[in-house]
Structures are given as structure tokens and as C-alpha cells.
Amino acid sequence: MTEFVEKKYVKKNSIEKRDYQINLANQAIDENCIVVLPTGLGKTAVALHVISEFLSKGTGGILFLAPTRVLVHQHYEFLKNNLTLDDISLITGEDPILKRTKLWNNSIVCATPEIARNDLNRKIVSPEQFNLVVFDEVHRTVGDYAYSGIAEWFAESSARLLGMTATLPSEKEKATELLTKLRISSVAERTEDSPDVKPYTQETNTEWINVELPSELKDIQKLLKLALDERYDTLRKNGIKLAEQQSLSALLRIRQFVLNQNRRSAKPLFTAIRIHYALNMLEAHGVTPFLKFCERAKAKKGVGVKELFEIDPNFTRAIHLANEAQSKGIEHSKIPKLKEIIESVPGKALIFTSYRDSVDLIYSKLTELGIPAGILIGKAGDTGLKQKKQIETVQNFRDGVFRVLIATRVGEEGLDIAEVNQVIFYDNVPSSVRHIQRRGRTGRKDTGKLVVLIAKNTIDETYYWIGKRKMTAAKSMGDKMTQVLEKNQEIESKKSGLDAFI
């Protein structure tokens, strides 16, 4: 028989009692903590336990932060449905200042990070109002992301900080930044193999499917690589040390150095970066996304653009061949493979791809093939889907209006999309965080299937190996962070008097 949580402010018979959630919450109640729990195992329920505890103290409000409007809306609905409290508000950039000023006074405020940071800066809201701040998708607290600015506002406050994520970063620097910015005292982690979690998890079977690029794409690929080699040769002649293996991230890292100390290399460097992006689009996404990328790059009129798009014989020939391939209906060998994969497993499928052009292409091809599909993309400026439309799309997918949902990154983070029978990675991501989030959309109530498409001898293969390495590093990061924190506590406890503050 299902047991339910019995706690002040939590509605009766609404939240199933799970020991691992209670144990994680107890750790987070006592100290600033990062809760690491695989997708689909109820991070928000853990937050709910902590929230009810802090509401009972009656010493301040709760601020619940999440990176996207859709995700914030989802948390807002969850709290409204499971708490006995009425004054829960939802604040996003779509609300005018006057309305926000009033909403900030509620007991629980669910907000997007940018708006929370801006309103703290405007002094519309004070950190003193809150005794608990929840950072969902806490791995984002790096660099100048809004979470970092918000953490600064709470550096001097006595509010408890709770971070939640499905996986920790694989890089030591990012992990250290997380611990420091949020003044974290402990990491509360469970994996799918933890004994108290195992009864609630299902297996996810992963299949890596290799596809061969069509000969037309191989010809374009060859020309782009020749154009790229030329730039690498020039950079090396100019005295820039570059590894034998060509790497976009290595080029991006030397931008500042080139601008400050090796100006003659600016043109070949920025041109090489453009070619890298174009090549990646072609190899992983196909002809139309490649051509659309080229159109945008040409319109930007940066250094070396005219030469690349109008004079360079290899690059201009590559564009000519791509236009020819497009006119013949040739896109990428992943498209026919997609149809095959979707039809091999009954039920719902979720396709992840990193670019909007790619979403459009997959959507039009699946529609042509008679497969009902929907699109979930974020909102950027005047383009993309507004919050209301995103919520509607997710609901339609849940209700079975269409059986395939094609999503960009907005669908990766925490969205309770629905029980999905299979997840398909149209492209590979060189990020352990994104891989784990994408994977977590399946295998919730039943055995799930994950399919990763890899185009042979392309960026897909490179990202596969990078991702593999990062996944291994991310798995051990929780233990490493715990060791560091315990060591720090030991040092602190040995100090006394003024030493403790130095």
C-alpha cells in the first residue's frame, strides 16, 4: 500500500513517501547543500520536504529558481497542487514591474534567474525576505550566469541555499565554482544504483547507431576540410602553436591572444572558426541547416567573410554542391534512419537536436513521412515559442496529440514531459550534464530506450569520445566534492578565535 507524506503545509495523500527523498531533504535542511538525483526520481519532491520545514519556521519566504519559464511554471504548478498554501506566486520577465513588486511579497515565489537578479539589483526585492533559496539545475551557477549574481546577494544572508541537479559538472573548476559561490557544506547524492533508489528506477537500454554520410555530403565535407587546412597552415606559419588534431575549442581559446598580440592571424582564425561551425552543421545535421548557417554567417559581415563566401574556391564550391544536393532532396542519412527507429518502437518518441534549423528540418521531413510531430524550442528575442505555447506543446505531447516531440535544449532541463518510450539523440553533445538530462527523459515507468545517431568520420564521433570521458569524470565528482568539503570542515574546526574567519 502506498504511504504518503504527512507534513505541515503538505496536502494529505499528495506526495508518496520515499525514504531516499526524506534522507536527502534532511541533509539539505541542516546545511547549504547540493542534491544530486537522476531525472525522474523527484528532485522537486525533495525540495517540497525542505520547503515545508522552512515554512513551519515562519521566519521568511521561499525563493524557487529555475532556468526557463516553462520549468518555473512547472514548479509553480507542482507547489500549488501539493501545498496547502495560497500565496504562491510565479514571476517571469513577462510581468511588468508594478505587478512584480506586489508578487514578491508572497510566501513562496517561483522565478526565472534573470528577473530575480534584476529585481534584486533594482532593490524591488530584498534577500532578507527569504529564509530558503532553491536553485534548480544548479550546475548552471558558473561564469556570469544569473545564478552567480543571485548567490552574491545571499552571500551575507542567513538564508539556506539548496541546489538541485541530475548531475554534477565533470570539470574541477566548475565544481569548485559551484561550492564557493553557493557556500555549499555538503553534497547529497543518489544514483540509479543506490539501494534506496533502485526500487523506483527502470532500465534504459542504449543503442548507438552509425550512419554513413551520403556521397554528396562527403564531397562537400572534403572541400570544407581543405578550406580549413589552409587556415590552420597560415596560423602555424604566423607562429601560433596548434595541436595536430584540429579543434574548434582550441581556436576559441586563443581569440583574445590573437586580438591582443598576433593581429595578422585574426582573419585566418575567425575564418577557421566559421568553417568549423559550418562543417559541424553539415556533418551532424545535414544540407539545409548547413546552408542556413552560411546565410546567417554571410549576413554578419565579419572579418574575412567576403573572402570566404565569394572568393575561396573550396568554400564557394561546397556551397554550390550543397545547393545542388538540396534541390535533389538530399539532406542527411540520419533522416531515413529516424523513420526506421521511430517505427521500431511503439509509443512516444522524443528527439533532441541542438539547433533550431535542425528542428525545422526534422519536423518537415517527419510530417512528409506522415508521422505526427510537435516542436519544443525556447524563446530568443522575437523568434521561438513563447512560454504559453511551450506549455501547450508539452501538454499536447502528454495527451497524445502527436507521438513525436522534437526539442532543443529547452526540453532537456527538468521538464516533466511525459512517459516517453524512446529518446533519440539526433546529434551528440560533448557535455555530461546534457547527455544525462536528455537520457533521463525515458525509462521512468517502464524500460526505456535511448538511441544515439552517429555519422561516421564526423564531429559526432569526436563528441562521442569527449562525452564518454566527461561522463566518467562527472560520476566521481560527487565523492571528490564531499572529500574537499569534509577536509575544509576539519580545518575550520581546528581553528579558533580570529583564525576561524581568516
3-state class (DSSP) for residue 135: strand
Residue 408 and residue 362 in contact, taking contact as beta carbons nearer than 8 Å: no
Q: What is the DSSP letter of 141?
A: -
Above 80 in pLDDT, residue 497? no
Which residues face 350 on adjacent strands? Answer: 405, 423
Q: Distance (Å, rounded) from C-alpha 219 to C-alpha 271?
A: 20
**Which pLDDT does position 433 carry in this prediction?**
54
CB 170 within 8 A of CB 478: no
pLDDT of residue 501: 30
Can you tell me which residue has the cell 595541436?
Answer: 243
Is 211:455 a contact under the CB 8 Å cutoff? Answer: yes
Burial class (CB in 10 A: 0-12, 13-18, 19+), 466: middle
Give the span between the Cα atoms of 126 and 113, in whole angstroms: 15
| Terminal CA-CA length for the chain | 54
For a pLDDT cut of 70, what percent of the chain falls above it? 90
CB count, 10 Å around CB of 149? 18
Which cell is 466 given?
569527449
User: Taking the mean position of all CA atoms in its chain, how far away is CA 245?
Assistant: 27
Asked whether the predicted pLDDT for residue 494 surpasses 60, the reply is: no
* Cβ contacts of 48 within 8 Å, gap of 6 or more: 10, 15, 78, 79, 82, 83
Q: Would you state the pLDDT for residue 66?
A: 94
Sheet holding 349-352, edge to edge: 204-211, 448-455, 422-425, 349-352, 404-407, 373-376
Report the alpha-carbon distance of residue 36 to residue 192 in Å, rounded: 11
Q: Which three cell numbers stand for residue 317?
A: 564550391
Residues 21, 82 contacting (CB under 8 angstroms): no
Q: Is the pLDDT of residue 383 over 50?
A: yes
At residue 42, what are phi and psi to the nearest 5 degrees?
A: 85, 55
Neighbouring CB atoms inside 10 A of 497's CB total 7
Amino acid present at 35: V
Quote the CA–CA distance of 438 and 316 in Å, as a whole number: 36
pLDDT at 495: 44
Rounded CA-CA distance 458/460 in Å is 5
pLDDT at 276 over 60: yes
Paired strand residues for 160 = 132
Smallest CA-to-CA distance from 332 within 275, 278, 288, 280 is with: 288
Structural domains of the chain, with CATH? 19-200 (3.40.50.300), 215-328 (1.20.1320.20), 332-462 (3.40.50.300)
Confidence of residue 119 (pLDDT cuts 50, 70, 90): very high
Q: What nine digits make up the cell of 25?
A: 531533504
pLDDT above 90 as % of the chain: 56
**Weakest-pLDDT range from 24-33, 36-45, 240-249, 417-426:** 417-426
Question: Stretch 95-123: mean pLDDT, rounded?
Answer: 94
Q: What digits encode the pLDDT tens for the residues 162-184?
A: 999 988 887 888 888 999 999 99
Using the Cα atoms of residue 308, residue 313, residue 314 and residue 316 in order, give the sign of their dihedral. Answer: positive
Locus of grid cell 534532511: 26
pLDDT at 434: 57
Per-residue confidence band for 297, with pLDDT thresholds at 50, 70 and 90: very high
Q: Which helix (H) or strand (E) holds 134?
A: strand 130-136
What are the backbone dihedrals phi and psi of residue 9, each rounded to the nearest 5 degrees, phi first?
A: 75, -10
24, 35 contact by CB (below 8 A): yes
Q: Cα dihedral sign for 472, 359, 454, 462?
A: negative
Nearest alpha-carbon partner for 176 in 437, 477, 433: 477
- Mean pLDDT for 313-335 is 96
CA dihedral 92, 97, 98, 104 (to 10 degrees): 50
* pLDDT tens sequence across 457-481: 998 888 888 877 777 777 777 778 8
pLDDT over threshold 70, residue 224: yes
Fill in the amino acid letter for 20: Y
What is the spatial distance between Cα 220 and Cα 320, in angstroms, rounded to a whole number?
Answer: 9
Q: What are the CA-CA distances from residue 403 to residues 39, 73, 370, 478 (Å)? A: 21, 23, 11, 37
Beta strand pairing status for 160-165 and 33-36?
parallel
Distances (CA, A) of 409 to 34, 132, 435, 484, 487: 22, 28, 11, 32, 36
Mean pLDDT of the chain: 87
State the pLDDT confidence band at 354, using cuts at 50, 70 and 90.
confident
Determine the pLDDT at residue 447: 58
How confident is the model over 357-386, as a mean pLDDT?
Answer: 85
Grid coordinates of 271:
575564418
Stretch (H or E) spanning 7? none
The pLDDT tens digits for 406-455 are 988 776 555 566 568 888 989 887 665 555 655 554 444 455 788 889 99
Where is 480: in which H helix or E strand? helix 459-494
CB 7 within 8 A of CB 29: no
Cα distances from 97 to residues 1, 87, 101, in angstroms, run 48, 19, 6
